[in-house]
Amino acid sequence: MSCRIKDALHRAAQRIIHNTSGQSSVEAAFILPMLFITLLILIQPGIILYDRMVMNAAAAEGCRYLATFAPSEGMSGQRAQELIGRRLGAIPEQDLFHVHQPCSYEIELSGDENSGEVGVRISNSIKPLPILGIGASAFGALNESGYYQITVESHEQTQPDWAAETGIDPDGWISAREDGR
């Protein structure tokens, strides 16, 4: 065998031995499913956090509404529920964000302008993502319908402490200010 043929065979053998083009396919076959599972695990808490943020803002706005409108104006509770419902419209009508058939929002109002404190409680049901739903049901985190329940509450005083001492009379506030109380 000539030296040239021997060198050519040696170079070909070296290329075959050091060829790593198939290795990346094996690595990708392992890493891609792990990446998708990680993404899936991170999406569910993001959905729950988004729902809680919108629900907290709607509950706080409902409390402000209840604290400023007297029940004598009529239908203030219904108007507060409508206001809260409009704010909750920022949550998409997808089962992953909000079970809409039937609507799963439960809004409870307490107090009015004449009471010492007002409160709003909002509950919402969401459908968990498939893999996380299995784990959540195993830990008992789902309700009887198989949904995850999110509940937020907001309570506020109708008057600050200094105003409560002088009453709901603005003239009393002015005289208390002048007297230095």
> What would the pLDDT profile of 99-123 be if each residue is shown by its tens digit?
887 788 999 998 887 788 899 999 9
Q: Where are any strands of DSSP class E within the chain? A: 106-110, 117-126, 148-157
Q: State residue 58's pLDDT score.
A: 95
Residues (pLDDT < 50) of the chain are none
Q: Quick one: CA dihedral 156, 159, 165, 167, positive or negative?
A: negative
Q: State residue 162's pLDDT score.
A: 67
Of 108, 101, 107, 91, give the one whose Cα is nearest residue 48: 91
- How far is residue 118's CA from residue 67's CA, in Å, rounded to a whole number? 6
Q: State residue 75's pLDDT score.
A: 60
Q: Quick one: which H or E segment has residue 63? A: helix 23-68
Q: Quick one: CA dihedral 142, 143, 148, 154, positive or negative?
A: negative
Tell me whether strands 117-126 and 106-110 are parallel, antiparallel or unpaired.
antiparallel
Q: State residue 2's pLDDT score.
A: 72
- How far is residue 129's CA from residue 144's CA, in Å, rounded to a whole number? 17
Q: State residue 11's pLDDT score.
A: 79
Q: State residue 181's pLDDT score.
A: 55
Whether residue 150 contacts residue 48, with contact meaning beta carbons closer than 8 Å, is answered with yes
